[in-house]
């Protein structure tokens, strides 16, 4: 037997009558058979039970951890504990740990989404549904991309602190969605990180180096196309039209002084006999006409094969030439290419003269090198009159886009083609002289004006100019003058998109047409290469 240490000698034996020899517990009365109790070792004092406040504090700290697992069940219980904690301060005065409830991710979203760990730190992946790649590997890939974007953006992060996080998140999501297996994912992450590291440092958020690999490549390609499309004088001077070519296509003669100083001045043709430009019948110009006085075809004639023979039909109603008109309107007229008659209504002016007159009253800006221009016309008692003029710069930004207040009474707004309504004309404040002066604030004698069928626009504006690039001449019709290709057909063929939707009866947009003419010229510059 082992030696008895007497550790329980101070405790009474639980048995009332104990016959156990050598019992380790104390018994009442002397016993000659028991050894005297040895000296007991001092025992350490028991710790005091925790106070109520300490218990509450411990429960609160444990609850924060549990709240992340069971947020809906425990968050209200923690809220009840807070006022009883020692040193508690309401949340409006002190930031306490916040327990965020987890919201289910919509099925339409990605199975895992990246959220920032902090405003300035690397993003963290929020665990959602399973993905083809383990979340731990995705987090490593996200951190790798983030580090490269931070190095690339550099000082831009001071003004745009979230730029690196956003780029890394988008890039990682693209790779995760397309890579599939883990091996392909890791390889794609590596190649993307190398691609980012080789980009030139950006100096602004619009730099082509900003964004994911796809975004950067698209922006870089667009920048190359833009650079190759710059309409510098060295590139476009080969497309200038000679005076003989302009005369062949019916442009007003910019050297004819009689157009600038007509012998007579007659603004209104009301009461005169003219030939209707629509139904080809004579009529007396008057504002008292009624709708239906003129029946005409607004479409163009085109040849077709029908029943083994060639016939000419109108594009508006598919009826043959010589049939009764399909549209009700009023009689209208125009002086077309009779420049001397047009000058009697309103004199022509050269670009140089207009700028010299403006310079006497104000300081003029430097003229733009290249502009695109398009005008819309309406019918008045003075014939075809200017109603809207649009001038854009090389990048397509509008320099001038103004409605023009006619000096004569309006016969027809020609809304099907001009796109101008009666409500629009109520907002017109400039007359022809004022809008021409406003346009020449940007156009100088050496400015190149680009457009499609510009001879009609220059006549309506009463402007004489020599540096012209007309896309109708630049891309001639197979039959030669006076036939010309439509601008919408050129845009569709060269640029691959549509303008002037034929199903839309709201008319042309002079802003759209001016931009389109410039875009067609840019295509020509790219296609021909450097001179």
Give pLDDT tens digits for 140-157: 999 999 999 999 999 899
**Surface-to-core class of residue 293, CB atoms within 10 Å of its CB (0-12 exposed, 13-18 middle, 19+ buried):** middle
Which alpha helices (DSSP H) does 281-405 contain, by range? 339-345, 351-359
pLDDT for the residue 47:
54
pLDDT per residue as tens digits for the range 18-60:
777 778 778 776 544 444 444 444 454 555 555 555 565 555 4
pLDDT at 109 over 70: no
Q: Name the helix (H) or strand (E) containing 483.
A: none
d(CA 441, CA 445): 11
d(CA 57, CA 59): 5
> In this structure, which long-range contacts are made by residues 56-62, counting pairs with CB atoms below 8 Å and at least 24 apart in sequence?
56/81, 56/84, 56/85, 57/85, 57/86, 60/85
With respect to CATH, is domain 245-257+349-528 assigned 3.30.420.10?
A: yes
Number of C-beta neighbours around residue 207 at 10 A: 18
Please tell me whether the overall predicted TM-score, pTM, comes out greater than 0.85 for this model.
no
d(CA 188, CA 192): 6
Extract the tokens encoding 188: 């794609």
Distances 122 to 82, 119, 160, 167, 181 between C-alpha atoms, Å: 33, 8, 14, 11, 24
Name the segment(s) of the chain with CATH classification 3.30.420.10: 245-257+349-528
Residue of 418, 435, 331, 431 whose CA lies nearest to 383:
331
pLDDT for the residue 171:
95
Distances 257 to 315, 349, 439, 502 between C-alpha atoms, Å: 41, 9, 22, 41
Cβ neighbours of residue 246 under 8 Å, at least 6 residues apart? 455, 466, 468
């Amino acid at each position: 037997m082992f030696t008895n240490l007497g550790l329980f000698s101070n405790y009474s034996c639980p048995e009332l009558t104990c016959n156990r020899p050598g019992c380790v517990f104390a018994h009442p009365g002397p016993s000659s058979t028991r050894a005297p109790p040895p000296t007991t070792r001092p025992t350490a004092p028991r710790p005091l039970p925790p106070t109520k406040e300490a218990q509450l504090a411990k429960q609160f700290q444990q609850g924060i951890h549990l709240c992340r697992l069971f947020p809906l069940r425990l968050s209200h219980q923690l809220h009840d504990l807070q006022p009883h904690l020692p040193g508690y301060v309401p949340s409006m005065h002190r930031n306490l740990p916040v327990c965020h409830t987890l919201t289910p991710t919509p099925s339409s979203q990605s199975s895992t989404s990246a959220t920032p760990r902090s405003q300035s730190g690397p993003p963290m992946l929020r665990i959602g549904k399973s993905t083809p790649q383990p979340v731990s590997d995705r987090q490593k890939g996200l951190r790798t991309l983030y580090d490269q974007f931070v190095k690339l953006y550099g000082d831009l992060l001071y003004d745009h602190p979230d730029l690196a996080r956003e780029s890394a998140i988008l890039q990682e999501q693209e790779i995760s969605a397309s890579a599939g297996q883990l091996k392909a994912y890791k390889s794609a992450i590596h190649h993307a990180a190398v691609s980012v590291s080789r980009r030139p440092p950006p100096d602004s958020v619009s730099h082509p180096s900003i964004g994911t690999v796809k975004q950067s490549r698209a922006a870089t390609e667009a920048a190359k196309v833009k650079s190759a499309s710059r309409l510098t004088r060295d590139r476009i001077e080969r497309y200038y039209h000679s005076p003989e070519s302009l005369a062949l296509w019916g442009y007003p003669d910019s050297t004819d002084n009689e157009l600038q100083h007509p012998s007579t001045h007659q603004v209104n043709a009301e009461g005169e006999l003219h030939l209707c430009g629509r139904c080809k019948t004579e009529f007396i110009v008057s504002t008292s006409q009624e709708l239906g006085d003129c029946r005409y075809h607004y479409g163009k004639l085109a040849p077709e094969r029908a029943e083994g023979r060639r016939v000419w039909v109108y594009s508006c109603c598919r009826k043959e030439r010589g049939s009764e008109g399909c549209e009700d309107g009023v009689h209208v007229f125009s002086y077309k290419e009779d420049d001397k008659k047009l000058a009697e209504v309103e004199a022509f002016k050269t670009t140089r003269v207009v700028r010299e007159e403006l310079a006497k009253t104000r300081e003029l800006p430097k003229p733009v090198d290249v502009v695109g221009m398009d005008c819309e016309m309406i019918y008045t008692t003075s014939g075809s009159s200017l109603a809207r003029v649009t001038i854009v710069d090389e990048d397509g930004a509008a320099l001038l886009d103004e409605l023009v207040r006619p000096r004569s009474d309006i016969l027809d707004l020609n809304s099907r083609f001009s796109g101008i309504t009666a409500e629009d004309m109520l907002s017109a404040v400039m007359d022809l002289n004022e809008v021409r002066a406003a346009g020449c604030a940007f156009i100088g004698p050496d400015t190149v004006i680009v457009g499609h069928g510009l001879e009609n626009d220059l006549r309506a504006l009463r402007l004489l100019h020599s540096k012209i690039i007309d896309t109708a001449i630049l891309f001639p019709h197979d039959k030669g003058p006076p036939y010309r290709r439509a601008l919408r057909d050129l845009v569709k063929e060269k640029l691959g998109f549509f303008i002037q939707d034929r199903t839309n009866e709201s008319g042309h947009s002079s802003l759209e047409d001016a931009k389109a003419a410039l875009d067609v010229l840019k295509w020509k510059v790219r296609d021909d290469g450097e001179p």
